[in-house]
Structure formats: C-alpha cells, structure tokens
C-alpha cells in the first residue's frame, strides 16, 4: 500500500537528506538557500537520489540547476509526484 505524499513528508525527507549530507538541522528552513547550507552540485545529485528512492521522482541535473532554496526543492518534488 502506498502512502499519500504530502508536503510535510517531502519536507521531512529533504531535511533528513540535507542533514545526512552535512547541513545543520537548525539552519534548514524553506527559505534557507542551498548555498548557505553548503549544498553543492554533488550534494544535489545525492539529494536527487534520496528523493528518487523515497518518492520515485526522477530529478535530472537540468531539473535542479535553478533551484536555490530548500522551499524550491520541496515545491519541485511536490510538482513531480
């Protein structure tokens, strides 16, 4: 049985993924820039893999190249599920 994907579940998975790649949990907000969290392009590839594993959403480099904030990443995933 598949659970419904909610914004809260996507936000939680992305937050956990960002912590896994080295971001400080207390600095992660929807408005936080990925740059300020020290998320580089390699980290985004890792995040894309986490998102694909969790939500079966395939994100390519082209999809995330203009993503600047955590909120934009959450919105992108929600638009694809």
Which domains does the chain carry? 7-80 (1.10.1200.10)
> Can you tell me the mean pLDDT for 5-14?
95
pTM of the model: 0.90
CA–CA separation, 33 and 56 (whole Å):
24
How do residues 11-43 score in pLDDT, each as one tens digit? Answer: 999 999 999 999 999 999 999 999 999 999 899
The alpha-carbon radius of gyration of the chain (Å, integer) is: 12
Strand partners, 69: 33
Contact 43, 17 (CB under 8 A): no
Token pair for 54: 């969790």
Contact present, 70 and 34 (Cβ < 8 Å): yes
């Amino acid at each position: 049985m598949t659970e419904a994907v909610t914004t809260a579940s996507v936000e939680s998975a992305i937050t956990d993924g960002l912590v896994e790649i080295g971001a400080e949990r207390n600095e992660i907000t929807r408005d936080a820039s990925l740059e300020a969290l020290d998320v580089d392009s390699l980290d985004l590839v890792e995040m894309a893999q986490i998102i694909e594993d969790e939500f079966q959403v395939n994100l390519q480099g082209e999809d995330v190249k203009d993503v600047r904030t955590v909120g934009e990443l959450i919105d992108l995933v929600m638009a694809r599920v």
